[in-house]
Amino acid sequence: MATSSPTSHTAPHAAPLGRVLMIQGTSSHAGKTTVVAALCRWFANAGYRVAPYKAQNMSNNAAVTRHGEEVGRAQAMQAAAARVDVTVDMNPVLLKPQSDRTSQIVVLGKPWLTADATDYYARKHHLWPIVTAALDRLRASHDLVIVEGAGSPAEINLAQYDIVNMRVARHADAPVLLVGDIERGGVFAALYGTHALLSDDERRLIKAFVINKFRGDPTLLDPGFDMLEARTGVPTIGVLPWFDLRDLPQEDALEWAQPDHAREVAAEATPRALDIVIARLPRVANLDEFQPLLLEPGVRVRFVGHAGEFGTPDLVIIPGTKSTMDDLHWLRERGLADRIQRHAAAGGPVLGICGGYQMLGHRIDDPAGVEGQGSVEGLRLLPVTTEFAREKVTRRVRATATNASSLWQAPSIALPAYEIHMGRTTALDHQVDLRPAFRVSAEAPGSDETPDGCCSADGLIVGTYLHGALEHTALRRALLTRSAERAGIALPPPASALSLDDALDRLATVVGANLDMEAVCAMLDLPQRATA
């Protein structure tokens, strides 16, 4: 990847810039992403042109814009909440962890370089004009931009490198709502301590506190609010209840990918649940695409990190990863590679997605040093090899499942999906045609179709570069139905689930009812319009 400084796209601003509201938190997972999404939908329903923005995100859950640029998945969800198409300006810097010490830095949707923290912080001065230009472009075309911070603004050891929290608020002179997670405990101390550690110029921008994830009677908090305001001069304008977010894409897999004891007990209580194992890779990417599987009745999803946990699954999934070679070594070290190969040899189905697809082949070569590993032998379950290249493929596609796969056997199913990968996978013997899993074309009408992925001769081992396929009900249900038939299981009918649009409306209604929106509109000098 090029290591020259990325360039910013500047544009003149003849018209006044739109308002900015910033949501910061006392910690990671305080609920900033959710609150931004709720407010984007609330203001969109009120008739405002609104857009989300996060200067710098760190996540291996990524989405692809219409123009083939890579952004954080959370900003794509927030853009859907705002009823606009996601653009690269909504997340100009994306950090994708690649190892314990390094991340790939994606700037304006394209890979810039791979760096450790020290190297990255030394380059922050290159990024500041880029993130401010992106914000200003959004402001030029929207009435309101709702900005999400990262982590906590009170990480004073990193304040000199800030391009995502208070420095952004100061640039836009934006009122800040500070969100505290009461589920963690010590929420008043967290709010007060965060406020106290900021500079005077930063404290003046914090206009209100918000309590998130509360269960119980909110009036019990009133004495704490009075004392907090007496000591800081900042009012608390909302107590947001704990909210079931399963119908919304999660920014980080950590909150839902851990084993859920209650769900496992419920699954074990059924006559026989469909048992799906997903490899818990250290550098897993886009694990959120499997979230819909967790909501399927009669299905037990286990995230497995060691051979002793493998059991006898009905289906094995190897997900995408930011470090294919390292995670393949990890599979071997944990004994999982051997268990997957034995499972496949016994006629067990395996689905590999993106990096997981690459692992299913015979060999992975890295002549360009993308992962710095040379070559490594794959699991040898599909007749393909992969070669890494420095140019990343990022694109949205339309895909149609072929009848080559025995996992779903549904050639009529067509769906939108997306690709994010740096490898090129070809047949082991270039004279042999692969049995593709999908036929794909670009989003533009009339685009030529090309093959994607590979299926084994019996169709039970399937690899694909497509992300997001299992988020589509028809293909997911076809996969589960076929898997249940092979296992002799009577799968219950699907549970009713909210569409993303309906889930965002419900979220906006709950947040709007528990947050003083009149006060929020006053901060922004915006008239409070009735929401639909």
| Pairing of the two strands 363-366 and 374-377 | antiparallel
CB-based contacts of 110, cutoff 8 Å, min separation 6 = 6, 69, 70, 392
Do residues 307 and 341 make contact, with C-beta atoms less than 8 angstroms apart? no
Q: Which residue intervals of 298-453 are DSSP H helices?
A: 324-333, 336-345, 355-360
Half-sphere exposure of 25 (CA within 13 A, CB side): 21
> Sign of dihedral through CA atoms 68, 72, 78, 82?
negative
DSSP strand pairing (454-455 vs 461-464): antiparallel
| Tokens standing for residue 155 | 């990480």
Annotated catalytic residue, options 354, 421, 455, 472:
354
Strands 414-427 and 384-401: antiparallel
**166 by DSSP, 3-state: which?**
helix
Burial (CB count <10 Å: 0-12, 13-18, 19+), residue 518 = exposed
Answer whether 447's CB lies under 8 Å from 336's CB. no
- Whether 521 is catalytic is no
With contact defined as beta carbons under 8 Å apart, do 316 and 351 qualify?
yes
DSSP three-state, residue 461 = strand
User: In the structure encoding, which two tokens stand for residue 399, read together?
Assistant: 């895909």
Residue 514 in tokens: 């528990």
The active-site residue out of 142, 421, 467, 472 is 467
Task: Please state the length of the chain.
Answer: 532
Helix pair angle (336-345, 324-333), 10° resolution: 80
Q: Rounded to 5 degrees, what are φ and ψ at 200?
A: -60, -45
Are 371 and 96 a contacting pair, CB within 8 Å?
no
Chain centre to alpha carbon of residue 335: 28
Q: Supply the DSSP symbol for 182.
A: G
* Cβ–Cβ under 8 Å, residues 465 and 356: no
Catalytic site includes residue 171: no
Q: Using an 8 Å Cβ cutoff, are 31 and 240 in contact?
A: yes
Cα end-to-end distance, the chain, whole Å: 47
Question: What DSSP letter does each residue of 83-94 carry, written as one string?
Answer: TS---GGGSSEE
Q: How many whole angstroms separate alpha carbon 82 and alpha carbon 76?
A: 10
Pairing type for strands 350-353 and 315-318 reads parallel
Q: Kindly write down the DSSP assignment for every residue of 202-249, as one continuous string.
A: HHTTEEEEEEEEE-S-GGGGHHHHHHHHHHHS--EEEEEEP---TTS-
Chain-centre distance for alpha carbon 356: 18
Query: Which residues are known to be catalytic?
Result: 354, 467
